[in-house]
Structure 1
Amino acid sequence: MTLADQHCLPCGRNGQALTSSELSQALVELPSWDCIAGNAPKLECTYHFENFSEALAFTNAVGVLAEQYQHHPTLAVAWGQVRVQWWTHNIQNIHHADVVMAAKTQRIYNRLAPHAVR
């Protein structure tokens, strides 16, 4: 089963971050995504679109997904692009739910912008 087909389960304060090996394995399935360091590690991807309207439609679709799973990313919308970051606030790290949501986000992008330059 691919990551995008998995169900996102909530992570409590005692949830476990992915190990570096688990994260590396997940990133094989998420080649457009990077792990960025900072106060808390995050998964990040910037998606490109033909215009602002397409970027906003993608943002809204990701918002619907986030509400469905009660797991919310940081979304930065600009003309022709959207930067998405997933991480789990409770543990200030990357949890399995984040890689699942990143894969679901990628699936939305592939559906909405199948001809976009990646």
Structure 2
Amino acid sequence: MNDNLLSRHCLPCRGGVSPLTEAQAVNWLGQTPGWVPVDECRRIERKFGFKDFTQAYEFVARVSRLADAEGHHPDICFGWGWATVSWQTKKIKGLHENDFIMAAKTNGLAGS
């Protein structure tokens, strides 16, 4: 496993590969502080806190630009002072190392 997820980029996933096992996902979580597995370890999620609505909105915009650049898109919910980001590789209905690359990069955008 590469220790520097921030330097990696998402590889296209066209399906036909198995999602990570729960044990594999737990190993990747060690490199992505703050993220938790949800939906029986089929996706990872993190809630971020901000001082106000504008900061939350700007964070969501940065995540959106990152997602477009990497070709891998999360589910995002946000409101006044918070944003929740969820990563999953939908083509395989589970987790792929791309999700952890993006979680690490999302942490970088949040400064954590």
Query: TM-score, length-normalised on structure 1?
Result: 0.87
**Displacement after TM superposition at 1:20 (Å):** 2.2
User: Is the deviation greater in 10-19 or in 89-98?
Assistant: 10-19
In structure 2, C-alpha distance between the alignment counterparts of 1:16 and 1:4, rounded to whole Å: 24
Q: Which aligned segments of 4 or more residues in structure 1 are displaced greater than 6 angstroms?
A: none
For 1:11, which of 13, 16, 27 is the aligned residue?
Answer: 13
Question: What are the superposed Cα offsets for residues 51-97 of structure 1, whole Å, 9 maximum, x if unpaired?
Answer: 00000010000000000011110010110000000001101101111
Aligned residues of 1:62 and 1:105 also touching (Cα < 8 A): yes
Q: Which residue of 2 aligns with 1:35?
A: 37
Written as runs of structure 1 = structure 2, the 5 A alignment for 1:58-73 is 58-73=59-74
Instruction: State the percentage of identical aligned residues.
Output: 32
CA RMSD of aligned residues (A): 1.5
Unmatched 5+ stretches in structure 2: none
**Displacement after TM superposition at 1:12 (Å):** 1.1
Letter in 2 for 1:97: N
Query: TM-score, length-normalised on structure 2?
Result: 0.91
Written as runs of structure 1 = structure 2, the 5 A alignment for 1:18-97 is 18-37=20-39, 41-97=42-98
In structure 2, C-alpha distance between the alignment counterparts of 1:82 and 1:74, rounded to whole Å: 10
Pairing 1:107–2:103 present: no
Unmatched 5+ stretches in structure 1: none
Aligned residues of 1:42 and 1:87 also touching (Cα < 8 A): yes
